[in-house]
Amino acid sequence: MSFLHPSHIAAALDQRLTAETVRKLQNCHRLEQRLARQMKLHLAEQDLWPIPASIEFLAGPAHPQEVARLAGAIWHAASLRLVVTGKAAAELVATIGEKAFAFGLRHAAASIAPAQAIGPSELAHAIDRDGLACLGAWLAGEPKPRRDAVLLRLSPEETERARRFGPEHKAACQPVMMIVTTEGETR
């Protein structure tokens, strides 16, 4: 249970649970079986049941949100290159993080989307949207336990967004995710 995104537990039990309470539930090994039974219906509705074995969680990326953001930064690297200084760059870095910003600039040659001069908040939204879609398209080719292990680390909203990918994400996900998995998590 400790690998699951806390919002999955809160959504299955009670949305009013505090983050601290959920964290305590996740770390209480004595309650794991009871907690899993309580979550079964909620996770089954999302096609995330049964909960994968710990080995599946350990085989996938530890921080899929970051992996998705790095994939999105590559996806929109051409647009990132248009925002390199000033207030717009500072706003974008504050939203997507310095690592994703620098990663996208470093891999501008692998950009998928054409360069667009759009505002930092719109670009950040596009990076998150396409990054999650790219992650989802990549996961679609993985065995269900491995795919579910990654999706369970995301919030339910992020999981839903990762499942909504288009043919362009499916076509480009392999080279983008190859860059992210070989370089992204090691820096």
Total structural domains within the chain = 2
Distance CA 99, CA 66 (A): 9
Residue 57 maps to a domain: no
Residue 183, pLDDT score: 86
Least confident piece of the model among 44-58, 60-74, 173-187: 173-187
Name the one residue in this structure whose structure tokens are 């080719």.
141
pLDDT for residue 186 is more than 70: no
Residue 58 maps to a domain: no
pLDDT in tens, 79-137: 999 987 789 999 999 999 999 999 999 999 999 999 999 999 999 999 999 999 999 99
Structural domain including 39 reads 6-51
Residue 184, pLDDT score: 63
Query: Do 76 and 121 share a structural domain?
Result: yes
The whole-model pTM stands at 0.91
Which residues, 6+ apart, have CB-to-CB distance to 185 below 8 Å?
61, 62, 63, 66, 67
Query: Do 97 and 176 share a structural domain?
Result: yes
What band does 187 get if pLDDT is binned at 50, 70 and 90?
very low
Query: Do 19 and 73 share a structural domain?
Result: no
CA distances from 168 to 75, 109, 165 (A): 11, 17, 8
Query: Do 104 and 21 share a structural domain?
Result: no
Distance of alpha carbon 54 from its chain centroid, rounded?
19
Query: Do 83 and 37 share a structural domain?
Result: no
What band does 2 get if pLDDT is binned at 50, 70 and 90?
confident
CA distances from 47 to 40, 146, 147, 151 (A): 10, 13, 11, 10
Residue 185, pLDDT score: 58
Query: Do 72 and 18 share a structural domain?
Result: no
Residue 114 maps to a domain: yes
Give the up-direction half-sphere exposure of residue 44: CA atoms within 13 A in the CB hemisphere: 6
Query: Do 68 and 20 share a structural domain?
Result: no
Query: Do 159 and 91 share a structural domain?
Result: yes
Query: Do 85 and 24 share a structural domain?
Result: no
pLDDT in tens, 6-53: 999 999 999 899 999 999 999 998 998 999 999 999 999 999 999 999
pLDDT in tens, 128-161: 999 999 999 999 999 999 999 999 999 999 999 9
Query: Do 132 and 107 share a structural domain?
Result: yes
Residue 56 maps to a domain: no
Distance CA 23, CA 35 (A): 12
Query: Do 166 and 78 share a structural domain?
Result: yes
Distance of alpha carbon 55 from its chain centroid, rounded?
19
Residue 179, pLDDT score: 96
